[in-house]
Structure 1
Amino acid sequence: MSPGQIAALVAAGAFVLLVIVLAIVAVKAARFFDEATIAMRKAHENTDPLFVEANTTLTHVNTQLERVDGITANARAVTGNVSALTSLFTATLGGPLVKAAALSYGVSKAVKARRKAAEQPNKHSKRSQKRGAK
């Protein structure tokens, strides 16, 4: 055997080994892609019910948000009405009511002061009467 034939034989052996390694890699890659395809199919089958449930949930949430929005609008209207009523009460009855309270307080203080002043001389006069009698 000549050195050229030996080199050809070694090259042929290396080529056979390369083909075997590539065949093993190709078989494993085929298995990987089959498993990936099966996993994607299962994921696709399981996502449909998830999306349906998510849409149903979002529909319910939107309905509740519309109700809350209505309640908020009603609360805003009630707050405005109460504010207007308070302003009206303050404008119509607040001033006169404060004046009437101040007047009644002043009259009450004046009456108490008069009674106190009326009792002061009586106390002194009773004391002086008692002293004069002794």
Structure 2
Amino acid sequence: MSAGQIAALIAAGAFVLLVLFAAIALVKLGRTLDEATIAIRKAHENTDPLLHGANDTITHVNTQLERVDGITANAQAVSGNVSALSSVFTATLGGPLVKTAALSYGITKAVRARRKGKDGEGRHSRRRRKGGRG
């Protein structure tokens, strides 16, 4: 055997090893792709019930929000009615009640001042000047 033939045999053996390593890598890559395909299929199968559950939940939340909107509309109407009622009360009874309370306060203060003996010497009485008219 000549040196060229030995080199060709070594090159052929190296090529066979290279093909063998490439085949092993391709087989492992094929298994990985199969596992990925199975995982994607399972994820797809499990997302359908999850999405249906999410859709039901969103529908329920929307129903509750509509109820809350109704409640807030009713509360707004009640607060408007209370405001109108307080305005009516203030207009019809508020003024006379305030006047009555002020009159009552004034009379009470005057009676107390009179009982203490300040009726002639109170703040609002006229003082006589020295040497002046009376």
Name the counterpart of 2:132.
none
Name the counterpart of 2:30.
30
Higher relative contact order (CA 8 A, sep 6+): 2
Name the counterpart of 1:76.
76
Name the counterpart of 1:45.
45
Name the counterpart of 2:64.
64
Q: What TM-score results when the alignment is normalised by the length of structure 2?
A: 0.79
Name the counterpart of 1:102.
102
**Structure 2 CA distance, aligned partners of 1:60 and 1:85?**
38
Name the counterpart of 2:89.
89
Percent sequence identity over aligned pairs: 78
**Structure 2 CA distance, aligned partners of 1:27 and 1:112?**
112
The alpha-carbon deviation at position 68 of structure 1 amounts to 0.5
**Structure 2 CA distance, aligned partners of 1:43 and 1:12?**
46
**Structure 1 CA distance, aligned partners of 2:114 and 2:39?**
102
Deviates more, 1:106-115 or 1:29-38: 106-115
**Structure 2 CA distance, aligned partners of 1:87 and 1:7?**
112
Name the counterpart of 1:6.
6
Structure 2: which 5+ runs fail to align?
A: 118-134
Residues 25-66 of structure 1: per-residue CA shift (max 9 Å, x gap)? 111111111111111111111111111111111111110011
3-state SS of 1:42 partner: helix
**Structure 2 CA distance, aligned partners of 1:2 and 1:16?**
21
Name the counterpart of 2:121.
none
Residue 35 of structure 1 aligns with an amino acid whose one-letter code is E
**Structure 1 CA distance, aligned partners of 2:57 and 2:16?**
61
The alpha-carbon deviation at position 115 of structure 1 amounts to 4.1
CA RMSD, 1 decimal: 1.7
**Structure 1 CA distance, aligned partners of 2:109 and 2:37?**
97
Aligned positions, number: 118
3-state SS of 1:69 partner: helix
